[in-house]
Amino acid sequence: MSRVAAIDCGTNSIRLLIADVTETFDGTKDLRDLHREMRIVRLGKGVDATRRLDPEALERTRAALVDYAAAIRRKGAERVRMVATSATRDATNREDFFGMVRDVLGVDAEVISGDEEARLSFQGAVGDLDPDDGPFVVTDVGGGSTEVVVGTLGDGVAAARSVDVGSVRLTERCLPGDPPAPDDVEKARALAREILDEAFEAVPVEGVKCWVGVAGTITTLSGISQDLPEYDPEAVHLSTLTRDDVHRVAQMLVTSPREEREKLGALHPGRIDVIGAGALVVEALADELHSRAGIGKLVVSEHDILDGIARSIA
């Protein structure tokens, strides 16, 4: 058994998992969570337009990492891996970020490729599922990018693609109003479909039997669909959303003013201004997977790239 710490720094949030990892007789790796935490730091705010990381966003990220480093020391993790994705890939001042991480955490942040991000997400997402339910398509909707991955539990990833559409990017490009104007919503829908077409051309989903969705946008949609009074990971993990559920929740989110969204118990305050765009990305995924593979249901997993990162260093 080994104790590891995994950190995923995305466009919208930074998350920590500290876990004990045990290798089983068949070579798979079981995780036992010791600590999970998420902070909304919006590291990628404005990066799509300016190609620079905002100083205030860097400071929010630094403050979160200081607390994460303390937790890692308290729990005695033997190995630490931090991956950084879309926002840092695009920023011209990314060295400010890397130096800060090195100083605070004592390890280097890795800017992983979209394909590596997809592979780690897949490994984390399908671990609790029955292999006979596959082949699987796993989608990870982040703040700046979306990953589409196809594979099986036995053979791993068969095809993967990461594309630059997510809740923060789509909000900044298309949805300036609150609530956004109907024409802007249609532009956002069209752009999401257009960008996701690139992923589906590279990742054939015909023959896939099960769609698994991971990360904060999708887990939040499940909590909202269930009308949870507050976010509950146990109620969300392995819950399901029909295509109609996705359309219903997305329509509600993009037509509700902020004060109405603030009343949704399952919605983290840091996602209030971007969840509508994220829902439109999930809606586009649902329509494409129904059209291409006849899939009408989304299985929501709380386990994602963090779990994949932890397994990769055990």
pLDDT band at 13 (very low <50, low <70, confident <90, very high): confident
User: Could you tell me which CATH number the domain at 124-305 has?
Assistant: 3.30.420.150
Asked, as a colleague might, if the bond just before 233 is cis with ω within 30 of 0, I would say: no
| Fold match flag (2-111 vs 124-305) | yes
pLDDT at 26: 60
Token look-up 């902020």 returns 258
Residues 306 and 121: beta-carbon distance below 8 Å: no
Domain spanning 2-111: CATH superfamily: ATPase, nucleotide binding domain (3.30.420.40)
Q: Is the pLDDT of residue 25 over 70?
A: no
Per-residue pLDDT averaged across 49-59, rounded? 90
* Both tokens assigned to 215: 């990360």
Q: What is the mean pLDDT of the chain?
A: 91
Where are the domains positioned within the chain?
2-111, 124-305
Instruction: Note the pLDDT tens digit of each residue in 239-274.
Output: 999 999 999 999 999 999 999 999 999 999 989 999
158 vs 146: CA distance, rounded Å: 17
pLDDT at 204: 93
